[in-house]
């Protein structure tokens, strides 16, 4: 890397961490915002991040998650920085081994009204499935706006609605399910579940999210390890759709996954799934699929939910709210 390339790299990392500081702040993770903002102004720390191999390993989520996984402090910059410097080799090893794979099961509450409008039974294919918690929307119960739960699962997922959300009277029928992930996680592996916990942001709802994650992992483990294929989504998704049994409607879906792909690969993925049988349900930030008309949500922090490239709703990042379009 020549001097100009190195300087450009420094500026990209700084800008990235400053953007994430704003994102963390909006999401109520004040300590993460403080750390990301301070790191962006620390030349030595920016250099350490830049020395990691590729953008996917330089993500703020991944670095902060690695520190939490190792039991390091994330309460603020004053304790974070010296700990990371002292334990950098361990932090780097976790960053190289792991990936950002948040598995927010509450997103199923935002997806259920969308899935319920599709002709079933459904064959679910999740892209970026992580540990597969969202592959089991039929195993959870749902409470919309505090009403009596829909479904009889041991985990109740709560969601506030607006805009006339068509709340279903029952959970969807899932006849077949599979996922793809570059590095599938195992709900029966304590280290993998702890990694998922490490990716939960600190803040007001941290304990609630952690408890929900553990409960959902137990549900999925009891159902048997979900069939998740290790591989590149662009190379695997068509094969998985082809395995969906006759008489079952294929549904390719994903939540906050395509944001980690370059624009050219997102465009390629969209062309690919649009040519497959069944439906495509996306749950992403509006900038991720910028060609979708009307994707920008009325609430800046919400993600856009679209079916076959058409916006149907906007949802909270963690499935806590759903606004019908």
- In the chain, domain spans: 3-97, 107-324
Whole-number pLDDT of residue 272: 97
Query: Strand order in 321-324's β-sheet?
Result: 141-144, 156-162, 321-324, 310-315, 303-307, 279-284, 249-255, 122-127, 174-181, 228-230
What residue has token string 């920008």? 296
Q: Residue 71 pLDDT more than 80?
A: yes
Q: For residue 318, give the nearest of 287, 283, 288 by alpha carbon.
A: 283
- pLDDT tens digit sequence for 11-21: 999 999 999 99
Q: 307 in helix, strand or coil? A: strand
pTM across the whole model: 0.90
Overall average pLDDT of the 8-37 stretch: 92
Query: 156 near 142, Cβ under 8 Å?
Result: yes
Q: Residue 1 pLDDT more than 70?
A: no
Q: Using 50, 70 and 90 to split pLDDT, how confident is the model at 39?
A: very high
Q: Cα separations (Å) of 20 from 17, 35, 40, 271?
A: 5, 10, 10, 29
Whole-number pLDDT of residue 226: 84
For domain 107-324, which architecture applies?
3-Layer(aba) Sandwich (3.40)
Whole-number pLDDT of residue 3: 66
* Mean pLDDT estimate for the chain: 94
Question: Positive or negative, the Cα torsion across 55, 36, 81, 191?
Answer: negative
Evaluate the omega torsion of the peptide bond into residue 4 and state whether it is cis, within 30 degrees of 0: no
Overall average pLDDT of the 315-320 stretch: 94
Give CA torsion, residues 159, 162, 165, 171, to 10 deg.
Answer: 10
Q: Using 50, 70 and 90 to split pLDDT, how confident is the model at 127?
A: very high
Overall average pLDDT of the 167-194 stretch: 95
Dihedral pair phi/psi, residue 255, rounded to 5° = -135, 120
Whole-number pLDDT of residue 54: 87
Which range among 20-24, 74-78, 161-165, 311-315 shows the weakest confidence by mean pLDDT? 20-24
């Amino acid at each position: 890397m020549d001097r100009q390339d190195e300087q450009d790299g420094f500026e990209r990392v700084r800008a990235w961490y400053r953007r994430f500081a704003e994102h963390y702040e909006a999401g109520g993770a004040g300590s993460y915002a403080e750390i990301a903002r301070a790191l962006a102004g620390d030349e030595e720390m920016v250099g350490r991040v830049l020395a990691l191999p590729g953008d996917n390993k330089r993500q703020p989520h991944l670095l902060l998650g690695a520190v939490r996984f190792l039991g390091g402090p994330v309460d603020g910059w004053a304790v974070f920085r010296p700990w990371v410097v002292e334990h950098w080799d361990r932090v780097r090893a976790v960053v190289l081994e792991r990936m950002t794979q948040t598995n927010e099961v509450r997103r199923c509450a935002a997806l259920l009204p969308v899935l319920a409008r599709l002709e079933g039974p459904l064959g679910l294919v999740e892209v970026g499935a992580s540990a597969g918690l969202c592959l089991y929307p039929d195993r959870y119960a749902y409470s919309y706006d505090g009403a009596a739960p829909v479904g009889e699962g041991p985990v109740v997922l709560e969601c506030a609605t607006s805009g006339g959300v068509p709340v279903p009277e029952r959970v969807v029928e899932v006849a077949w399910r599979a996922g793809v992930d570059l590095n599938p996680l195992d709900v029966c592996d304590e280290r993998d579940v702890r990694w998922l916990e490490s990716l939960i942001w600190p803040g007001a709802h941290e304990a609630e999210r952690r408890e929900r994650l553990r409960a959902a992992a137990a549900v999925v483990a009891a159902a048997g390890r979900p069939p998740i294929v290790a591989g590149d989504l662009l190379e695997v998704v068509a094969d998985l759709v082809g395995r969906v049994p006759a008489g079952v409607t294929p549904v390719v879906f994903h939540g906050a996954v395509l944001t980690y792909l370059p624009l050219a690969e997102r465009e390629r993925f969209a062309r690919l799934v649009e040519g497959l049988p069944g439906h495509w349900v996306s749950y992403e930030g509006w900038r991720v699929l910028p060609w979708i008309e009307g994707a920008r949500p009325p609430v800046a922090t919400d993600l856009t939910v679209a079916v076959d490239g058409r916006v149907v709703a906007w949802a909270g990042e963690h499935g806590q709210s759903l606004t019908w379009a």
